Amino acid sequence: MVEITLLLLLGVFSGFFAGLLGLGGGLIMVPALLYLLAGSTDQTVLMHTAVGTALAAIVFTSISSVWAHHQHGAIHWHNFKKLTPTILLGAFSGAMLTKVMSFDFMRLFFALFEFSVAVIIYFGLSSTAHVDSLKKWVWQIAGYIIGLVSAVVGIGGGTMTTPFLTYNNVSIKNAIATSAAVGMPIAIAGALGFIVAGWHIENTANLLGFIHIQALISIVIMSVVFAPFGAKVAHRVDGKKLNKFFALFLAFLAITVIAF
């Protein structure tokens, strides 16, 4: 009962921050699931299960978050279309690649990734070019890398898509909204990949591949309710303050993963 209650609370926080920061919520879910599932999941597949479950939950969280951002007219759908094809390929191949990754490698990769993005966002590194002037091959490579890395660390891509767009002079609020939309194809392709990648493991009473069913249901119930609230808050706060908070939040989560 305690575990289910904590998973429901995790759904509340991950859903709210999914809407607020344009994330799928994986940055909260993965560190939390490492701790919550440690007692019932073999450590050799614990990180894989945390990541796979987070991606599956993002499929549902992103629907609610995207609709809220769309109602504000903040999503750049033309940028979404440019990124999606190779994002799908990258996310599926990234999930399959985790079959050969150890728990510690995935854990440290996740933490280092978060720290790197936090530094870029906090110091406001940007390009003189505008996103609309980028060539097609840049979008294709960016999409593949975003999908690949996002699937490996269990996120909806907001921590990569948002910096990519803001680096090329898209406003933070539009970047967050577009990142929320991009999170859906990443989550779908990544979740399918983790089901296939984990199909071989034994003792799967509560697992579908690398996806923990009980955790998934508990998180989704609350996250889809609270994601729209986060999206509303995102459109009412100062963009610069949101940038700083986003960066510090990523750094904090990276520390929790290293400390596991």
| 110: enclosing H helix or E strand | helix 103-122
Provide mean pLDDT across the span 226-242. 76
183: CB partners within 8 A, 6+ apart: 18, 22, 23, 24, 58, 61, 62, 65, 66, 155, 156, 157, 158, 161
The predicted structure's pLDDT at residue 48: 92
Confidence of residue 16 (pLDDT cuts 50, 70, 90): confident
pLDDT in tens, 94-141: 999 988 888 889 889 888 887 887 887 788 665 555 666 778 888 899
Mean pLDDT for all residues in the chain: 84
Predicted TM-score (pTM) of the model is 0.81
Other Cβ atoms less than 10 A from the Cβ of 163: the count is: 23
**What are the domain boundaries of the chain?**
2-258
Provide mean pLDDT across the span 147-169. 82
Q: Does 216 score more than 80 pLDDT?
A: yes
Q: Using the 8-state DSSP alphabet, how is residue 238 labeled?
A: -
